[in-house]
A = this chain, B = another copy of it.
Amino acid sequence: MAGVDRSLVANVPVFAGLAPEQIDQLLQEAQSVRYAKGTNVFQQDEGAHSFFVLLHGRLRVFKLTPDGQQVVVRFVTPGEVFGIAMAIGRATYPATAHAVVDSIALVWPSAAWPRLAATYPGLAVNTLQTVGSRLQDAHTRVVEMSTEEVERRVAHALLRLARQSGRGIEAGIEIDFPITRQDVAEMTGTTLHTVSRVLSAWESQGLVEGGRQRIILRDPHKLFLLAEGSPG
């Protein structure tokens, strides 16, 4: 698409190591699409027609269970590929991607993937690494859910969010997109109520500062100790 400049994707890991001309060629096949806050980029179980690279914004990726419960898979930050169901051999999207703020993504038709992967071998290798690190993350999550009590899981989740989407402010580190207690609950396998209680307790100890769809880590180090299981 005209108007998508190479500099926009200079730091996109999935394009790492590709020659500038190759990146230009890839970009020529992409569309740049805007998704308004509150809309879905794609929905679970719908045909995996496209894959994407997020340029701006924040997406919440979640799975819906048959009985209507949501589980947050991850939040997508700019520079990440997403929606690569086709590349991993799925015909449909395994989850829904929802824009939590106004977002812009590059969009390629999934049908182009086999050709692109064959033409630019680095693309498949990079994608393999991306998927691999998501696999690591998922396993980490399984281990946490198997062995840690709720408080530690919430601490881990907040630290991860801060690392991925933290904005340093004088009061500490603020998660830089609107996130609810419910979201945190769905990331950690607990309930809205329990998350609220945990955060309230932490707030009274000065570890965090809350607000509507807002979380600030006032004392990341103490949270880290909590996450690692230090008593108290």
Residues of A at the B interface (CB closer than 8 Å) are 63, 65-67, 69, 71, 73, 87-90, 94-95, 117-118, 121, 124-125, 127-129, 131-136, 138-139, 141-143, 145-147, 186, 189, 228-229
Asked whether A89 lies within 8 Å of B133 as measured between CB atoms, the reply is yes
**Given A121-B124, A146-B186: A135 touches B133 (CB 8 Å cut-off):** no
Closest to A186 in B: B146
Assuming A71-B147, A124-B124, what are 6 further A-B pairs, CB within 8 angstroms? A69-B147, A87-B132, A88-B133, A128-B128, A134-B135, A142-B142
**How far apart are A117's CB and chain B's nearest CB, in angstroms?**
6
Q: What is the bound-complex CA distance between A118 and B123, given in angstroms?
A: 11
What residues of chain B lie closer than 8 Å to A95, measured between beta carbons? 139
Number of copies: 2
Asked whether A143 lies within 8 Å of B71 as measured between CB atoms, the reply is yes
Q: What is the bound-complex CA distance between A132 and B84, given in angstroms?
A: 9
What residues of chain B lie closer than 8 Å to A146, measured between beta carbons? 69, 71, 145, 186, 189
**How far apart are A151's CB and chain B's nearest CB, in angstroms?**
15
**Given A121-B121, A143-B65: A88 touches B189 (CB 8 Å cut-off):** no
What residues of chain B lie closer than 8 Å to A139, measured between beta carbons? 63, 73, 94-95, 138
A-B contact pairs, 24 of them (CB 8 A): A63-B139, A65-B143, A66-B228, A67-B147, A67-B229, A69-B146, A71-B146, A87-B128, A88-B135, A89-B129, A89-B132, A89-B133, A90-B136, A94-B136, A94-B139, A117-B124, A118-B121, A121-B121, A138-B139, A138-B142, A141-B142, A142-B142, A145-B146, A146-B189
